[in-house]
Structure 1
Amino acid sequence: MASPDQRVEDVMERDVIFARADVDQEEVARLIQRYDLLALPIVDQEGILLGVVTVDDVIDILEEEATEDIYAIGGVRAEGESYFDSGFLSILKKRSPWLLVLVVTNIATVFIMSRYEEVLDSVVELAFFTPLLIDTGGNIGAQSSTVLIRGLSTDELRNKKPVRVILRELFAGAALGLVLAVLVLGIAMVFVGKVEIGLTVGLSLIAIAALAATVGTLLPYLFHKMGFDPAFMASPFITTVADILGILIYLNIAKLLLNIG
């Protein structure tokens, strides 16, 4: 649209957005998305043009990366092939590594409960609420990690201070725990009829919810800072860590409030 007698240097865009050939394809997709480009130049280390990546290419990249992240969040290895076209042995290979890690990690829960055997023996009713507490903590931790991983993947958190995000999730977890604690306190009074048990469960739930939300935010952040895909800090692992810390908090609060040991 310029005049025929104008020089190219007078109308060209000098601050060109580009990517180097060794950049991850996900970063290329983010650049095209962030600047609403139709195509992105790809150059070598000397800045010489090697080719372009177009919007059509990005659609395929985003689908591939989204699939990889979804599998990672679920603790399933993705190796390029369609999951539904995979053979039975391939399915076992994809699922077993994380499950083995989680089984080994969960041994910590068994060890903790064995160390607090006198607490559970003294007040048997405490055992009734153990699944409720650790499951709630795991669920809240998984929610926080999912929100954070999405924020990191879409660059929404690029200009956000990590401490602020972590504190926000901590307070959100505590608020959720408070709401749930009121409900659980009522349930405890109906089924157990002991105020001290209800208070123990309620306070534990608040502490566990706050801690689980913090863990669910902190671990993906750490993975991201270390240069790894935060999606690999999968929800099953977040849930397991929250379970271990949750049972430790619960039994210690019970020991303190109920004067056991």
Structure 2
Amino acid sequence: MTSESTIKAYYERAGLLELIDAGLKEAGVDPLRPGPDDLSPFDEFHIGGKRATADFINRLGFHAGMTVLDIGSGLGGPARYVAHEMGANVIGIDLSPEYCAVATELSRRMGMGSRTQFRVGNAEALDFADASFNGAYTIHTGMNILDKTVLYKGVHDILKPGAIFGIYDVMAGPAGTPPAFPLPWAGGSETSHLVTPPDTEMLLTFCGFEILAKANQSAQALAAFDAAAKMGDRPGLARVMGPEFAQSLQNLAVSVKNGALAPWIFVARRV
């Protein structure tokens, strides 16, 4: 099995839309008429959920009239946030056909089908014209990408000069020790490719970006883990994705607490 197919197989789950619908019904929500807050337990596939999405996206300066690329768009939660709150049009790409199909259907149900598009695509082979986007971002995607130079150079090429590229990824932490697997993005080290924040800054600069801001989000992550623990077992991704996903979330929390991992935000400008 190739790395790409291994990654797809790790994320995908048969009958995903039906599982989300069942979770929404359990939460007392009409699956055909969900609101953004109703979907956030299911479509925000990263540390901190919708609150982290808002904090990250609000740093990027997107606005109405822009066309923005979401790299690794998953189930479409962040893309819908950008479209709804910023007024931008968003194209999302993801390796998983299932995720793209579910994201498209969820956007349709929310009346946002014309503002968001989801396509099967590879972050290491961006198939768009040069200088065709006003902005781009990636949320918890880089951990699966071995050659981040290819990713960052590809993003540089498809962005217009001066456009913003935002990164919210989990990176190698200060402890210098390996994390325990499984993790939400990988069952083992063969598909988990972590770099340090200084390496990220170096690679972005090498690929033609100017670093505007960077921030360690470990404290915010720990607060989010504590809040989730207090909420208990509610319908959401952990329930939908199965028991191994719950274990992967526990491993992630432990790894951030012990310094093996650290989530970071980078805001860079295409020179």
TM-score over 0.5 for the pair: no
The answer to which structure has the higher helix fraction is 1
Q: TM-score, normalised by structure 1?
A: 0.26
The answer to which structure has the higher strand fraction is 2
Q: Select the structure of larger CA radius of gyration.
A: 1
Q: TM-score, normalised by structure 2?
A: 0.26
